[in-house]
Amino acid sequence: MTTSTTRVLALLEILQGGGTRTVADLAARLGVDERTVRRYAGHLLELGVPVESLRGRYGGYRLAPGHRMPPLMLTDEEALAVLLGLLVAQRTGPVTASGAASESAAAKLRRVLPKALGRRLEALLETADFTAPPRSAGAREAGLLLGLAEAARDRRPVALGYTDRRGRSSERTVWPYGLVAHGGRWYLTAADPSAGPATDPSAGPATDPSTAPSAGPATDPSIDPSAGPVAGPAEVRTFRLDRVTGMRVLPGSFESPPDFDPVAAVLDSLAGAPWAHEVRVRVRAEEHHVRRHLPPGLATLSPLPPEAGADWTEVRLRAERLDWIPAVLAALDRPFVIDRPPELRTLVTSLADRLTMYATASAPEAPAPDDH
């Protein structure tokens, strides 16, 4: 490959990094004069690469948006990052497209890679495996994710169709605040100004964890979310994206709280979902120490007032089973008080007895050697 051809491809690689590059910057990076940079850009245009020329003080060259991906120029590390990203997302991440789409994208990428690099990556893909099976998803979920993301960015209300875990369907108008990926799924945090205690089908003991309300002000049913910019109290809810049956963007706009944290809202709503057991424990430890030993989204932690004792943290969580909690409390290695449920005390005592028995047991005697 000639030196000029190499530099033309190097120019393409630089432009693929995005943004507008000045002629002076390109000349310095390629080690040529500005006139040669313009000639190289002309070569790319002749090859069908959509290079745009921008005039003015901050002008230069860039790849035109909205065109098909030009020929890829990836380093070994970049190609590995892209292909592994596709593979890991399909197996363990919050998938938003079918497995066929991920495989097709990876195949297109492999077709344009140099043969030597392609063979090395093929060896990795053939020998790598995961303990978790791939989660299936369809193109519908990808469309919902993109549509809700645009609505959240543009502060547009949406009409949402939703089916809870009990199979109950509902239609509601919500204000989308943000999207959160957690535990291999996508969640939407949204204010539901039209919900109320009498009309919310997920209220009460049968609350669906995927629509559990986060802490927030009371609902104001007089707010019309489609009547221009609005701001006011509305209950914040969390929706699992795979349970959304339809979405339609509505006219109007809304204002979201300035300090709203979608991640915190999702974790709090999941921690507050109804389960078989409600656990309340006080731990003599700072909040950050307790949180390190608990899965995110599982528990709600709050420091106790000084009169309750120095550095005490209250832990509230819900669980279908209690048998795993004693080991977590033991791992904290801090004094604790179990407020509820009473059966948890029995399980903790039983674990302590077993550990004592294991620690004090004598080692079994080795069998006598066989003389024959």
- Compute the chain's Rg from CA coordinates: 29
Q: Where are the alpha helices (DSSP H) in the chain?
A: 3-15, 23-30, 34-46, 76-92, 99-111, 115-127, 139-154, 262-271, 287-291, 325-332, 342-360
pLDDT, residue 370, reads 66
pLDDT, residue 212, reads 44
How far is 346 from 326, CA to CA, in rounded Å? 10
Instruction: Determine the Cα angle at 195 with ends 192 and 196, to 5°.
Output: 140
How far is 218 from 234, CA to CA, in rounded Å? 6
Q: What DSSP state is assigned to residue 156?
A: -
Contact indicator for 22, 55 with CB cutoff of 8 Å: no
Q: Which residues neighbour 268 within 8 Å (Cβ) at sequence distance 6 or greater?
A: 214, 215, 300
Q: At what angle do helices 325-332 and 342-360 cross, to 10 degrees?
A: 70
Question: 16-49 burial string, b = 16+ CB within 10 Å, else e?
Answer: eeeeebbbeebbeebebeeebbeebbebbeeeeb
Tell me the whole-structure pTM to 2 decimals.
0.51
How far is 268 from 271, CA to CA, in rounded Å? 5
Instruction: Determine the Cα angle at 369 with ends 363 and 372, to 5°.
Output: 160
pLDDT, residue 365, reads 72
Which helix (H) or strand (E) element contains residue 176? strand 169-182
- Provide the β-strand partners of residue 158: 174, 249
Q: Quickly list DSSP for 21-53.
A: B-HHHHHHHHTS-HHHHHHHHHHHHHTT--EEE
Provide the residue-wise pLDDT of the chain in tens; the chain has 372 residues: 456 778 888 888 888 777 889 999 999 999 999 999 999 999 888 888 888 888 877 778 988 875 555 555 667 777 777 877 777 666 655 555 555 666 777 777 776 677 777 777 778 777 777 666 655 554 456 778 888 999 999 999 999 999 887 788 889 899 999 998 887 778 999 998 866 433 333 333 333 434 444 433 333 333 333 333 344 457 888 898 888 999 999 999 998 888 888 888 888 777 666 677 889 999 999 988 998 888 766 788 888 887 766 789 999 987 878 999 999 999 999 999 999 999 999 999 999 999 999 999 887 776 766 665
pLDDT, residue 213, reads 45
> Closest by alpha carbon to 282, among 334, 320, 323, 347?
334
189: buried, middle or exposed (CB in 10 Å: 19+, 13-18, 0-12)?
A: buried
Contact indicator for 329, 323 with CB cutoff of 8 Å: no
Q: Which residues neighbour 204 within 8 Å (Cβ) at sequence distance 6 or greater?
A: none
Q: Where are the alpha helices (DSSP H) in 31-187?
A: 34-46, 76-92, 99-111, 115-127, 139-154
307: buried, middle or exposed (CB in 10 Å: 19+, 13-18, 0-12)?
A: exposed
